[in-house]
Amino acid sequence: MSMINYASHEINCKVVYYGPGLGGKTTNVEHIHGKVKPDTRGKLISLATEAERTVFFDFLPLDLGEIRGFKTRFHLYTVPGQVYYNASRKMILKGVDGIVFVADSQVERMDANLEALQNLRDNMAEYGGDLTKMPFVIQYNKRDLPTAAPLVELQQSLNPGWKVTDAARMKITPDPFHPGENLVAPLETGEWVEHATYFEAVAVTGEGVFETLQAVSKLVLKSLA
């Protein structure tokens, strides 16, 4: 849940990068921190675990405009990937405004992706949250590796869509980031389904990193408007 700081005239929003261990969450956030203007960002904080780190920082994206006269400051967090740090995952998700699920594209990591995605749903449900009703973006990372699964297989497994029950939303909705594709559309059975928008990425080089951030940021701002 976004917080308003009346003293600085800012709305503070929390975006969490979630996903399996070593999938690229930290790499995404570190790349963003290294590229945004130093005078608009806070210090990158790193909390080390045995096998992975949780990192976070805040920044003020000057190119996203204002909401009702308030500037929007984003706080980016990653969660530890290992399931035995689930208490930390839950804590970091508290008050979240938007989520990026960073999937590892490698074929052999599909089970880990599915486990992490289900864990995300379960943890959100404990807070009364629902991924289908909040800013949510999927990033398929490590697309440069020879063991990366085809995009269509990743979409079928990790982004099959969810049933649309609100009649007002039963209309074809194009995906603004993928010409020719729809976020909401009917199946051959007549059932309406909605998908999350997605991005392909190579986080170690920065490919797709800012596109993913821009998408989730715009969804968060839209939810606040």
Topology given in CATH for the domain delimited by 3-143+197-224 = Rossmann fold (3.40.50)
- The DSSP call for residue 44 is P
Domain boundaries, the chain: 3-143+197-224
Distances, alpha carbon 107 to alpha carbons 7, 26, 44, 51, 192, in Å: 49, 21, 32, 22, 29
Q: Tell me the pLDDT tens digit for each residue of 137-179.
A: 999 999 999 999 999 999 999 999 999 999 999 999 999 999 9
CB 30 within 8 A of CB 77: no
Q: Tell me the pLDDT tens digit for each residue of 169-206.
A: 999 999 999 999 999 999 999 999 999 999 999 999 99
Single pTM value for the model: 0.94
